[in-house]
Each structure stands twice: as C-alpha cells, then as structure tokens.
Structure 1
Amino acid sequence: MAFSSVGRHKRHRGMPLDTWLNGRTGTVKQPMTRADNRPVSRIVIVGGGTAGWLAACRIAAAADPAAEHPVEVTLIESPDVATIGVGEGTWPTMRATLEKIGIAEAEFLLACDASFKQGSRFIGWATGAEGDAYLHPFTPPTDADPRALVSAWQSQAGGRSFAEAVTPQAGVTQRRLAPRQRSMPGYAGALNYGYHLDATKLAGLLARHATGRLGVRHLRDHMTEVERAEDGDVLAVHTRSHGPIDGDFFLDCTGHAALLVADVPWIDRSGTLFNDRALAVQVPVAPDSPIAAQTDATAHRAGWIWDIGLPTRRGVGCVYASSHMSDDEAAATLAGYLGTAEVPTARRLMFRSGHRERFWVGNCLAVGLSAGFLEPLEASAIVTVELSIDALLGDWPTRAALAIQAKRFNELFRYRWDRIVEFLKLHYALSRRQEPYWRDHRAAETMPDRLADLIALWTHRPPSSDDLPMVDEVFPAASYQYVLYGMTDAVQTAGQFRPEPAPNLAAVEQRARALFASLPTNRAYLDALRAAHGPAALEQQS
C-alpha cells in the first residue's frame, strides 16, 4: 500500500499513543507495562551445525558488552547429532558475514580447506548436446541498460557467450584463476566471489570462534522437552543434564527435526522442484591438481551432478528425482561421471523441497533446515541462514512489538522463498532436453504462474529491475539474464524509442586481459597461503 490510512484517525490530545493504536482495532488495552519493555537479551539457540553456529557468532559479535542488559547467547547441541556437512558452496555474502564475525579470511580458508567460488557452470542443461554449457558468474554485467547490453552482445560479441561478452569473470574462471591477489586486504577482490568449503570444518571453526572469542555458552546436551506459556511462547527448553534453559528468544536450528517449530505447517514445493535425493562422495585429488573456480552442475536424464573443487579433494554428488530414477540408476550415473566401475562409499541424502508456512512464531525463529530446504542448485541453503540473521539483527526483537516483527519477517521471507523457487525452476523451464524428467519440468501445471508470465515477457525484452522490485532481491535481474541468455537464443524486439547508448564491450575484453596477467591460479594462491602459515595451516584442517 502506497499511503497509510493512519492519518484519517485523529488521536485525542493527551491520549497515550499505545491506547489510541489499540483502540483502532476496537479494543482499548492497558498501556504497555514496564515488564513489556524488558529487553530481549537471553538468546537460546537449539542445534549446532552451520546454521546454529553462524547465528551464535553473528549475534554475539554484534552485541554490545557494555549495554545495561547485555545479550547472552547459549547454544545447546546434541552430542549425538552429526552435522550434515554437504553445503559446500556459499554466495559472496559470506565474505561480509565472516568479516562481521571477526574471522580473518586467511584463517577461514585454511581451517575450512576452502577455495574461491566465482559462480556456477551449467553443462548439458539446454539440450545436452556437445558444447552445451554456460556460466552464471557472481560479477554482474558491465553497467548498462539491459536492452542496450543485450543489443551490444548480439552485435559486438562475435559469437561469444553472453557471460564471456559482458564480464571478465567468464575468462577468469576458464583459466581457474583466483579472484584476488594475496597482497589485497582480507575479503577484497578484483572480482566478486564466494567460497567452496568443507561444511563440517566450517561448523567447527565457528564453534571455536563463538566459544573462545565471543563468549557464547555451549551446552552439549539432549533436549527433552519444550516448556511453553499459554500463548505458545517458549519459556524454556529442558535438557537431560542441565535441566531447564530459559530465555527471551529462541532459535530453532535443529535441522529437519524442527524440534521447536514442527507444528508450523509445511509448504511442499516438490510439485515444482522434483528432486528429492542425492548421492554424495568425496574424491581425493593430487596435491598439484588445478582447482576449479566455479561449481560445475552437469545435467543427466533425471537430475544433475554437482562437482566442487577444494584444495585436497572434490565434492561430487548426484541429485535426482526418485519418481524418475531409481537409487541403483543414480549410483550408476554417478559412477559413469566419475569414470569408475562403481561408486566409492557414498552418503545417500533424502530431502523434500519446501519450507514452513511461517518462520518466526511467537518468540521463536526457525533458521536453516528447520525453516526449509530447496534442492542444492545455486547453493541457497547457507545464504538463507545469513539473510535470516541479518533480518533478525536489523530489527532486534522487542517484547511489545514481537507480533508485528514476526509478521514483517514472515512476509519478507515468504517472498524470498518464492523467488528462490522461481529462479531454480527457471533452469529447468528453459531446457529443451527431451527425457521425461525434463519434459515434466516444462509442464504448465508445474510452473509458478509468476515465472510463466516473466518467461513470456522476456521473449520481448531482457529481465530488468522492473521485474524484481525489492531493494534486496535474493537473485537480481543480472542472474536471470545469465541463465536466460545462457540457455536460449536471445530474442530482442526492436524498440519504438531511441536506444540507450551501447556499452563498449571491448573494455570488458581489455579488463579481462589485465586480470589474466595479474591474478594467480587458485592452486598457486592457496598453496602459497599454506606455505606462508607453515605446519599450523595443516593443523587447523584436522
């Protein structure tokens, strides 16, 4: 709504503001009591893993220890629940997150066996023919009006792909170059980048940092009961060895179990995103082998295979829909990709794409897998954790306004989950592969209405910010451009108005050549980093 109707209601002179506001709903309540104004300071996080420890670090690092009521963070972690540990890709947002937490980039890279990720390469998604591949890089296209940009690509690029024409990052990833030089300050880069990492080691690093440097209280214990008030708010969680742990606000980071929010309805998105299983393996690599600069996602007849390069190994996984492929067929598909007779010891993961109807309920917020999970395409799992904690810290809970804050949070994140579903579906909807799995993905009944409208619109003009109006869209228009023009023949209808000045794509080529000459390879960068830190670098990984 553009204009509020509050201005039509006159407050009587001298009437308390809270009485007037409550009166507008037909019920005049007593003014807010001093108890209602008590700060939310005791935070209890149930569950560890990446979600729990990332939340603990962010909240503790942002808290002011000199405050009258300083924030206290307690994390309760079951000793018997292992970290899932397959979320091996991050977005560039992780750089700002780690910096806010207070972890140096070099420390992170060494402790988590991490490497640089500059985007995702999709192989075989459009047709499955030889040479079918495109890149979704993290650096946006050169700044220009979308129509002028696409027109310049069509007229100036000489047959190069859209990504190759509009950003130097495409050439950088092809050469497996790092996005930064070691002389640069931590978290700075010549190009935008995220990370590939060992998720189990990341959780360990965050746990050590939270307890050793940020003062987070860590209880390794089993939760046995949730004690609630009459209105449903959580009063305390009971544990086997430490008894009841009470708090002002609770975070459910218990993964798929969702121990605090299990009663909140689940919205199933598997009718749009079919994949529900994965086989994951770790493949050792030679010490001097090249390290890829992007995640590879290679399509197969009923899903796709991820391939993530770390300094000491590759993480490879076959994602598939059990409705279109059996477990044995998936194992054979993965073995064929690896070039082996059979698959090495693999973890079989079962999941369902979907999310909670609400994420913030009363004084409890679901973060991570307890809030939802969508198939691992485009690595959205960790970023939803980051976004959730950013939103929580940006509008810290206030007892008297808790219901309002929860409503605003839920509206924002329902919008974000919907946009992620649509963006993931776009990769399937644009495919021209003819296997039943891919044909079913193009069926109208599996397509979100909004996405279908946008695809139709984009046959006449490029994706633009007009299509994605939020200030902080999860995926900006540039991401849609990379996928659309990576998978289809661009259609650009001539306009009836003067076009914007065409960008000079030759400048992109010049920038690319300069980067090729100045950036080290991923392997050279990371090996030099380990050599500079000596044996301690290897100890951090153990």
Structure 2
Amino acid sequence: MCSAASSQQRIVIVGGGTAGWLTANHLARALDEKFAASTAKPYSITLIESPNIPTVGVGEGTVPSIRDSLHYFGISESELIKRCSATFKQSIDFIGWQPPQSDGAQHVYQHIFDYPQIESEEALCDWINHGFKAANFADTFSVQSHLVQAGLAPKKFIQAEFHGVCNYAYHFDAAKFSELLAENATQRLGVDYQQLEIAKGVKNNAGGIAYLLTENGQRIEAELFIDCSGGRSLLLGQCLETEFISKADEIFTDTAIATQVAYSSIKKTIACATLATAHRAGWIWDIGLVERRGVGIVYSSQHMTEADARETLAHYIGLEDQNNLLTEPRKIPMRSGHYAQFWRNNCVAIGMSQGFVEPLEATGLLMFDKTAQLLAQMLSEADSTSLTLSLSSGQLQRRFNQQLCSVWEGVFDFIKLHYCLSQRDDSDFWRAHRDMNTWSPQLIQMLTKWHTQLPSQIDLRPGVFNLANHLYVLLGMDVRPLLNTNVDNSDGQLSGQQRSIMQAHLASLNKVLMPHRELIEKVHEYGLQRI
C-alpha cells in the first residue's frame, strides 16, 4: 500500500462487514464517475479486514432505499436473491405494542413501505374523526397492507429488476450480503482488499491519524481513514478519543439474543414483513429467508434478566421448532448513542463505529448505507479537479457532522416514538417509556403539537424517516389528533370511498401477483429481467 504513487490520495477502510463494504462500493462508484476522464486514478481505496472477527450477522432487514444503492453499484436483483437467500420485505408488522383489544385479540399495526394514498386532507380528517372504527389507517390508505396479509409478492415476475407494483426492500443473510458486496467492490470497482490485524491507530500532532499499526508491526499510511470497525470504534473512539453521546436514558433496550431457525417444511410460507412482537421488556424480531428464519429478542437488562430473556425467546420459537435451531442463541450487547463528531481531521466513522440504536425499523443497514452515500457524494461533488482539497476540507467536515447529528437525533426520536406511545401497563419497562423526562425536547414538542393538529413534514428534522413513516406509527398506535369536529362533517363517507378504491385496486392485483415463495422460486430458476 505504501508503494502507491505519491500523486494518489490513499483511502483506507478499516473493517469489512456490511458497513465497510457498502462504504467501499459507494466510494469506488462515485469517485470512478468523478475521475472518469482521468488517464490515471488520482486515488486508491483499500479495505483492511481482520481475519479473526466474525460478522455479527444480525442486520437481515432493509428499507427500500437499498434497491437504489444496489442498482447504482451494478449488482443485479436476481444475483442478490439467489446468493443471499433474499426475500421481499414490504412491511414491519408490530404485534402487541398496545394492550389487547376489548375482545382479547392482540393489537397489530403495520408500517408498510408504500406511501399512503391520501386523496385530500379532508379524507384523512374524516378517517381520524370517524373512519378508524371501520378499518385501520394502513388498510384504508394503501393496498400494500392487504398484500402482506395475503402473502403476495410486491412485484410481477415480468417486471424488471428493482421495479414492482409496490415499494419494497429485502430480508437477506447478512454474511452472504457482505460477501456479495465484497466481490462487487474488488472485482468490478477496483477496491484493494487485505486481511490484516490492526492493533491500533497512532495520532499525529494535528490531532488526526498518522498511521495504522498492525499486529506484526507494519505501518499503514493514508490521507483518509474510514473507521468501519464496529462497536469498538478503533479509530474515532479509541485512537482519537472522541466524545460519545449516550442515549441509554432514552432507549432502554441494551441487549439482544439472536438465533436461526430452519423451516419445518421447505414449502413453508415466507412472511413479506418483519414481525416485531412486543414482550414485557422489549420485542422479538422474526425475519423469513428462503431456507430459514432469523429470530432474536431485544430487551432491557435493567428490566429483564438474561435467563428470562432466553426463556421468552424459547417460548416464542415454540417447542416444535426448538429442534430446528441452526445456531446456538447468541448474546449481543448493544450501546445506544452516537459520537459527537463523525468526521474528525482525516478520520471518518461509518457504521456502528459512529453510532448505534437497537434494530427496530432496520436502522442499522439504513444508517450504514445513507452515511456511506453521503460521504461519497460530498467527496465527489466538492471539487471538480482534485480529491486532495475534498479530503482536507473543514467545510465538508462541518457539513457532514451537522447533517449526521440531525439525522441521528431524528432516528432516536423515531425509535422512542414506538415505545412512548404505548399504553401497555404490564411492566416497569413500558411505564418508564411514558415518562416525559426520557423524551427529547424535540419529541415533546412534536407530540404536543400532534395532539390537536395533523403532523406535517416541517415538524420533523431532516433525516431518513419522513412524514409517511411517522403517520404509520402514530395512527397505527391509535394516536389520533383531537381535531375540531367542524373540519369535516362527512361522517365517514370520504374514508369509506377511500377503502372502496383500495379494494378495487386489490382485486386487480390479486389477478396478477404470485404468492411470495412462488415468486422467489421463479427468480431462482429463471432470474429477473435486467434493467
């Protein structure tokens, strides 16, 4: 690496996994476009991965924006599905996040990926004041919730890759996904790959990183170091000693226990949604891949012992499926929070090394992807002729840090929203979340306003979760603004018309969409049409 031409700006990514390889692909693709006319690349990208650190392998859920990134990288959707045991994800189904209904049935709502088809503000007001008694928000304003319940895929087999009748994302094997990203980065985009054990980063007099030191004493120098070392944050946290802002007083869940469960039958129906089932001190995820399910419990160690958590997880999996466990349930500590800076001097952190929040709403992979994309865009757009100026630009660093701080704060507010709206009263865990002392000032302000007004996009910080995301959670959790009854006097007619439109749309889709597993099998056999 040190033999690179002196004119090249060396970018070194420390750590592989999903965060490292997403970063490598984003940077390589963006900088290739920026310097396409150059006779020689003015940069080199090297990813260094420890041979001794296993992939965590929990981040198996995504959000729809991952499709844009994969297409941008040049990875085909067929390749993803075939190689990563991938399935389609259209929703997160929240089960038991509110107390049982009057008939004893569990409370269920869906955070689907299609934007709600709200014809007018009057129609939404009509549903809030009257129509909610006939049907829930997702069922009224989108057809996708019906597709999920019916087990139908979000696209027709004849549709090209990354296109569908509804917005969608994926579930996949995280380790296999990292391998696919690594192959694409090294074989198609020219990223250099080395397996080395990095002992530490060594600071320079300017407060940045002078070089990396390997276990065998080798020095590795670069103009930009990208820390993708995971929760240990080897460079930003340990070497540069950057302040960490803990969110443990807002997000109580701090531990997960994960396992993999084989289907009892290979023809088992594959859920089109991540199932998120609440328990007395957190929730359980259930993700369906082609041959297996990824299942895990998220809990607060202040409110539940490890033994109780393992028992709760075993009870959820059930006696029949205990013999189908593919992996021993594995404990994973979680530290909620983020660093005060994400780009310091010549070091940028991406992935768990910059911050972490529990895996509700697939925030992990979402933040990995969006952060890597932001860095790549800034470096490629900052200066038309030189990468040197971009790497040392204080203005870029400030912009990057300001934007990401806002994004992270919005993410924590959005995750907290799921908990603080719950009226569950069966444990201290749920009651503690309703204590407004554990809410951020921004969240208090938003919820106070939304008590009497419809939410709007301007209420939210710029970030990764928009108005539609908040509406699905707020209205799904039965939190409806106390609107002035004079806003509408249609007595449920407008929302009834809206449901009729959705039902007609659903009838047409029922004729052309396959069951989820059937489409996956077709893709494995024939592949999808390339764009």
Instruction: Give the TM-score taking structure 1 as reference length.
Output: 0.86
1:413 alignment partner in structure 2: 404
Q: Which residue, out of 294, 304, 311, partners 1:325? A: 304
In 2: Cα distance, 1:407 partner to 1:339 partner: 51
Letter in 2 for 1:387: K
User: 1:475 and 1:40 mapped to 2: Cα distance?
Assistant: 38
**Inter-partner Cα distance in structure 1 for 2:218 and 2:156:** 51
Instruction: State the distance in 1 between where 2:409 and 2:184 align.
Output: 34
Structure 1 segment 251-262 matched on structure 2, within 5 A: 251-262=226-237
Question: C-alpha displacement at 1:314, in angstroms?
Answer: 0.6
Q: 2:523 aligns with which of 529, 536, 539?
A: 529
Equivalent residue for 1:310?
A: 289
d(CA) in 2 for partners of 1:446, 1:181: 45
Are 1:284 and 2:262 counterparts?
A: yes
- 1:435-490 deviation digits (Å, cap 9, x = unpaired): 211001111211112112211211212211121263xx311111111111111252
Quote the Cα distance in structure 1 between the aligned partners of 2:156 and 2:456: 33
For 1:441, which of 404, 428, 433 is the aligned residue? 433
Q: 1:87 aligns with which of 48, 51, 59?
A: 59
Residue of structure 2 in register with 1:350 after alignment? 333
**Residue-by-residue CA offset, 1:223-254 (whole Å, 9 max, x unaligned):** 13424331122233233469322222111000
Q: Which amino acid aligns with 2:455?
A: P
How far apart, CA to CA, are the structure 1 residues paired with 2:125 and 2:485? Answer: 13
Residue 365 of structure 1 corresponds to which residue in structure 2? 348
Alpha-carbon distance between aligned partners in 2 of 1:219 and 1:294, rounded to the nearest angstrom: 37
What is the CA distance between 1:145 and its match in structure 2? 4.5
Hey, what does 2:443 align to over in structure 1?
A: 451
Distance 1:211 1:508 in 2: 46
> Which of 247, 253, 264 is the matching residue for 2:222?
247
Q: Which amino acid aligns with 2:330?
A: R
Give the equivalent residue in structure 1 for 2:71: 99
Q: Flag the 1:523–1:154 CA change in 2: closer, same or farther, 3 A.
A: farther
- Give the whole-Å Cα distance in 2 for the aligned partners of 1:455 and 1:303: 22
Cα distance in 2 for partners of 1:480, 1:195 equals 21
Q: Relative to 1, partners in 2 of residues 1:463 and 1:82: Cα closer, same or farther, differing over 3 Å?
A: same
Offset of residue 496 of structure 1: 6.9
Distance 1:502 1:159, change over 3 A: closer
Is the counterpart of residue 181 in structure 1 residue 159 in structure 2?
Answer: no
Which residue of structure 1 aligns with residue 19 of structure 2?
51
Local SS of the residue matching 2:511: helix
Q: Is the deviation greater in 489-498 or in 142-151? A: 489-498
Structure 1 range deviating more: 265-274 or 391-400: 391-400
* Unmatched 5+ stretches in structure 2: 1-5
Structure 1 distance, partners of 2:236, 2:399, is: 18
Q: Do the aligned partners of residues 126 and 250 (structure 1) sit closer, same or farther apart at CA in structure 2, a change above 3 Å counting?
A: same
Query: In the alignment, which of 345, 366, 369 is matched to residue 386 of structure 1?
Result: 369
Distance 1:265 1:399 in 2: 27
Change (3 A) 1:144 1:361: farther
**Which AA in structure 1 matches 2:429?**
Y
- For 2:111, which of 126, 129, 136 is the aligned residue? 136
CA distance in 1, matches of 2:7, 2:370: 23
Judge conservation of contact 2:7–2:42 (CA < 8 Å) in 1.
no
* Gap change, CA 1:495 and 1:281, over 3 Å in 2: same
296, 299, 311: which is aligned to 2:275? 296
Residue 226 of structure 1 is matched in structure 2 by 201
Q: In structure 1, which of residues 456, 460, 464 is the aligned counterpart of residue 456 of structure 2?
A: 464
Shift in Å, 1:512: 2.0
Over aligned residue pairs, what C-alpha RMSD do you find? 2.4
Cα pair distance change 1:522/1:305, threshold 3 Å? same
Map Cα deviations across residues 92-150 of structure 1 (whole Å, 9 max, x no partner): 01000101111000001111101011120100001145230000101111144445424
Task: Report the counterpart of residue 3 of structure 2 in structure 1.
Answer: none
Q: Which moved more, 1:152-161 or 1:127-136?
A: 152-161
TM-score normalised by the chain length of structure 2? 0.88
Q: Aligned with 1:201: secondary structure?
A: helix
Cα distance between partner residues in 2 of 1:147 and 1:233: 56
Give the SS at the match of 1:378. Answer: helix
Instruction: Say if 2:461 is the partner of 1:478.
Output: no
Secondary structure of residue in 2 paired with 1:462: coil
- Change in CA separation of 1:170 and 1:221 when aligned onto 2, cut-off 3 Å: same
Deviation at 1:155, TM superposition (A): 4.2
Please give the alpha-carbon distance, in whole angstroms, between the structure 2 residues aligned to 1:41 and 1:481: 45
Q: Tell me: CA distance 1:270–1:369, structure 2 relative to 1, closer, same or farther (3 Å).
A: same
Aligned partner of residue 175 in structure 2, secondary structure:
helix
- Conserved? CA contact 1:61–1:102, under 8 Å: no
- The aligned counterpart of 2:313 is 334
Amino acid at match of 1:333: T
- Conserved? CA contact 1:146–1:463, under 8 Å: no
Deviation (angstroms), 1:152: 4.0
What amino acid is the match of 1:377? L
- Cross-structure match for 2:142: 167
Residue 395 of structure 1 aligns to a residue whose secondary structure is: helix
- 1:100 maps to amino acid: Y
Indicate the residue corresponding to 1:120 in structure 2.
Answer: 92
TM-superposed deviation, 1:79: 0.5
Secondary structure of 2:472's counterpart equals helix
2: CA distance, partners of 1:222 / 1:389: 23
Conservation of the 8 A alpha-carbon contact between 2:44 and 2:191: yes
State whether residues 23 and 373 of structure 2, in contact with CA within 8 Å, keep that contact through their aligned partners in structure 1: no
**What is the one-letter code of the residue matched to 2:421?**
L
**Distance in 1 between residues matched to 2:204 and 2:235, nearest whole Å:** 13
The answer to whether the 8 A contact 1:221-1:241 is kept is no
Report what 2:192 is aligned to. 217
- Count the aligned residue pairs: 495
Which amino acid counterpart does residue 204 of structure 1 have in structure 2? E
Cα distance in 1 for partners of 2:361, 2:79 equals 26
- Distance (whole Å) between structure 2 residues aligned to residue 321 and residue 274 of structure 1: 5
- Rg comparison, structure with higher value: 1
Deviations along 1:320-347, whole A, 9 cap, x unmatched?
A: 1000000010011111111129795201
CA distance in 1, matches of 2:396, 2:422: 40
Give the distance between the partners of 1:232 and 1:529, measured in 2 at CA.
Answer: 51
State which drifts further: 178-187 or 500-509.
500-509
- Give the counterpart letter for 1:43 in structure 2: I
